[in-house]
Amino acid sequence: MTDTVTTPSPSDATAPAHRYNADLAAVIEQRWQQRWEREGTFEAPNPAGPMAEPDKVAGRPKLYVLDMFPYPSGSGLHVGHPLGYIATDVFGRFKRMTGYNVLHALGYDAFGLPAEQYAVQTGTHPRVTTEANIANMRRQLGRLGLAHDPRRSVATTDLEFYKWTQWIFLQVYNSWYDEALQKARPIAELIAAYESGDRLTPTRAAWSSLSQSEQDALVDGLRLAYISQAPVNWCPGLGTVLANEEVTADGRSERGNYPVHKRNLRQWMMRITAYSERLIADLDRLSWPEPIKLMQRNWIGRSEGAKVRFALAGSTDEVEVFTTRPDTLFGATYLVLAPEHPLLDTLVPGAWPAADLPASWTGGAATPGEAVAAYQRLASSKSDVERQVDSRDKTGVFTGAYAVNPVDGRALPVFAADYVLMGYGTGAIMAVPAEDERDYAFAEAFSLPVIRTVAPPADFTGGAYTGVGPAINSGFLDGYTMPETKRLMTEWLVERGLGEATVTFKLRDWLFSRQRYWGEPFPIVYDENNRALALPDHMLPVELPDVDDYSPKTFAPDDFTSAPEPPLGRAQDWVNVTLDLGDGPKPYRRETNTMPQWAGSCWYELRYLDPTNTERFVDADVERYWMGPTSETHIGGVDLYVGGAEHAVLHLLYSRFWHKVLFDLGHVSSGEPFHGLVNQGYIQAAAFLDARGIHVPADQVEERDGRFLYEGEPVTREYGKMGKSLKNAVTPDDMFAEYGADTLRIYEMSMGPLEVSRPWETRAVVGSYRFLQRVWRMVVDEETGAVRVSDDAPSDELNRLLHKTIDGVRTDFADLKFNTSVAKLIELTNAVTKTGAPAPRVVAEAVVLMLAPLAPHTAEELWSRLGHPQTLTYQAFPVADAALLVEDTVTCVVQVGGKVRDRIEVPVGISEAELLDLALATPGAQRAVEGQSIRTTIVRPPRLVNIVLV
């Protein structure tokens, strides 16, 4: 929107020659950024390795501060992006000034779909555009003066980085989860246990008696990274499969907005479910916002219950269901399988069991097979979230099969219905409509019986009753209530071999392969028998080849029958390779899928620690120093991690899984990657919609007489997250040109609490600009450029305010309350400058030091002009004199008859007698008491006197 507020022009010829303005700020910023780079000001020493400086490490506490990995977008930054980066920079700078060895670095999450899509459109190699985007982003962030250690910057596309991404994948691939020890162990130990007989095969056959394929199948079924024919989210419009988290609630791709279908396809998976219990339990050991912990707990979805086996009528097959309410088994009246359930391939009979089945059961199909296939196609177009919406109409189809209720022998029809997910429990449920609302809605729609097994209260009006009560219609359970009914039924099932107590989770294994070009190649090859083989470490990295066509084969968005064809499959010279894997040169075929974008961001915090190490992904001593546990109860990890809450169940969950595998295998000392987490809010901005409901560029909208116009036509205003989609982005480059980087830093930190979203208002930036101008004038004469501070001692009043500010700002910085720290500094600066006299040096220097984390360029320049040749980066942060924080006087409230009649300033140590005399002499008390008698007085020095009348 056009800014109608006039601001000081950098080129104003009438302005004093040494006034702080955008031109001067640009000169100062460039000078100090060059000096910081030249002197290595922000280089954090390691305890070992090439970055080791033992003398600088000894005796200094460490602090690892980290921002979430940014993606280098082609559109560059808007002013919303740096909010968290500035906050961590302020915090890190403050901690350096309090004696900490601070590690703060920034790299780039550079693989992924946007660069690939741009390459498809333009024919430009993704690496070219990615590196250009990184250079632009690095330039913009560089203008902010962020105190990153430049030696540690990495990009996931760097060959030396993704070499170690591939290496970590192999650690996962070559591991299995030992349930007895509750940790990952090398596959080699598993095979050794089978070979020695210490571990029995499932069939109890000797390991040596198994064929190679049988041995492979047994081992591969336990690997933490494995290939599976599993239901996946297939997006024909993108030509790739997607993780559940990449699919929107309405069943479309997060990128591109294409329809997503459920398909059984061969894909790489990560067995993250093996860590479900630990991923939930260790949340209690993290300093994270409770809403993020709750999101992860809900996503993992721990449930206690029982698995129950239902025999299929006329078959030797069984349907296994998981239920949290085994006590309601007598009320089960039908079974439901997820449309993707593998049993649907075998249990469906060739004909309907009866001719008079309701049309709602058969879907009008001639055979159960046709009905189920048609329903599977329908269900494949819906996302898991959409399928779980309780308010929608329930759909399904009868499979033609019946199951036997194990408690009473009743025949239960088996349906396929999309409100059951293959990704939860066993993909099958026993439906108890009397005690479950979704089951009740389905039973209503399909005219299925309802058997109540929990007695509702007398005033219950009907439908599904989900409360507690005594068991009814439940045989040996009648009269009991939960949890006793759960225990008794579970014991009954176990005794008869019909079920067992179990814990299940909603979390599903992580779909880890993509049919894309711009990603990390898998370090896997296949032999002539299609046997997957891991490449040895010395063959890493498997370098991504150059290709002419970067796009996977895409299909019509609704082409359900299509299948992935990755672009790497066309690079035949790369795919087909001769290698010596220990038994002589042989031909092999490379894996043509690539890893998802999440792979690099699962471990980048570790590479920052030791980015030039060619022997290990991180030196053990270096990792232990920066991320190791600090006590018996501390789990380790990054001290402060700042980023958006939108990554709660993607990056944060995935990286925790990878880190725990590395921990189990002894590669890291920390049990978690990120110990402390803060989610910054968003910067919002006005966006404008034309008559068609389409967003128009906000910076081209004019305000006239309270109306908003775009190209002369009226538009409506709304507010939303700043970004490209709403066309309301404000670039930091514009702010740098108009005000300078330090003004932008001050403004963003003063807008509100870090965790809270806040509206951007360009016209308000000038307030931060003028604050910096006042600080400048406090030290520098605008006419001559000379330093104008005095060596006089500050007044008692100013000295007390100074130390009160020091105390408050220290506390605010430590607590990430940057908005209130700015307010305190403004208050102190105003108190200094309003006198018109030169500022006392002791006050001016303290203001500059406190300003340094927020506006480092300006502070460095003023510190230098005050006669200090060294950078203030490691100058001690001011410390308040505790004696000056104690108030000499306080306000005493004078009450008469319980009502406040006056207030007086009194010494803190005043006696009761003195306080009472002063209170009785106040005009307010005298007016209230006049003509009346005092019954008693209550004196509480120094803050209260209450006069009670007769």
The per-residue pLDDT for range 299-320, each reduced to its tens digit, is: 999 999 999 999 999 888 999 9
Here the tokens at position 80 are 């919303």
Q: What is the pTM of this model?
A: 0.85
Residue 753 C-beta-side C-alpha neighbours within 13 Å: 5
Question: DSSP alpha helices (H): ranges in 852-943?
Answer: 856-865, 912-920, 923-929
**DSSP SS3 for 349:** coil
HEC string of 720-777 equals EECCCCCCCCCCHHHHHHHCCHHHHHHHHHHCCCCCCCEECCHHHHHHHHHHHHHHHH
Confidence of residue 8 (pLDDT cuts 50, 70, 90): very low
Range scoring the smallest mean pLDDT among 8-22, 251-265, 450-464: 8-22
Question: DSSP alpha helices (H): ranges in 866-937?
Answer: 912-920, 923-929
What is the dihedral angle through the alpha carbons of 141, 144, 146, 151, rounded to the nearest 10 degrees? Answer: 50
Question: DSSP alpha helices (H): ranges in 223-326?
Answer: 276-281, 290-300
Question: Quick count: other Cβ atoms within 10 Å of Cβ 108?
Answer: 24
Closest by Cα among 576, 534, 568 to 551:
568
- Whether the predicted pLDDT of 10 surpasses 60: no
Q: Determine contact, residues 636/629, Cβ cutoff 8 Å.
A: yes
Q: Beta strands 428-431 and 707-710: pairing type?
A: unpaired
**DSSP SS3 for 244:** helix
How distant, in Å, are the alpha carbons of 173, 588, 664, 753 from that of 531? 14, 10, 27, 55
| Rounded CA separation 364/358 (Å) | 9
Q: 940-950 pLDDT, tens per residue? A: 999 999 999 98
Confidence of residue 2 (pLDDT cuts 50, 70, 90): very low
Q: Beta strands 101-105 and 499-505: pairing type?
A: unpaired
Q: Determine contact, residues 685/719, Cβ cutoff 8 Å.
A: yes
Q: 214-236 pLDDT, tens per residue? A: 999 999 999 999 999 877 888 99
Q: What is the mean pLDDT of the segment spanning 527-543?
A: 96
How distant, in Å, are the alpha carbons of 5, 77, 144, 356, 898 from that of 766? 9, 21, 17, 79, 48
- Whether the predicted pLDDT of 450 surpasses 60: yes
| Rounded CA separation 384/427 (Å) | 12
Q: 592-646 pLDDT, tens per residue? A: 999 999 999 999 999 999 999 999 999 999 999 999 999 999 999 999 999 998 8
The pLDDT score that the predictor gives to residue 385 is: 67
Mean pLDDT score across all residues of the chain:
92
Here the tokens at position 635 are 């789990």
The pLDDT score that the predictor gives to residue 13 is: 62
Which own/partner contact pairs does 225-229 have at CB distance under 8 Å and 24+ positions apart? Answer: 225/169, 225/172, 225/173, 225/268, 225/269, 225/270, 225/271, 225/512, 226/173, 226/268, 226/269, 226/271, 227/266, 227/267, 227/268, 227/269, 227/532, 228/266, 228/267, 228/269, 228/509, 229/264, 229/265, 229/266
Q: What is the mean pLDDT of the segment spanning 525-550?
A: 94
DSSP codes joined into one string, 530-550: --EEEPPGGG---PPPP-S--
The pLDDT score that the predictor gives to residue 12 is: 57
Q: What is the mean pLDDT of the segment spanning 87-100?
A: 98
The pLDDT score that the predictor gives to residue 6 is: 37
Q: 18-46 pLDDT, tens per residue? A: 999 999 999 999 999 999 999 999 999 99
Confidence of residue 181 (pLDDT cuts 50, 70, 90): very high
Here the tokens at position 214 are 């049988």
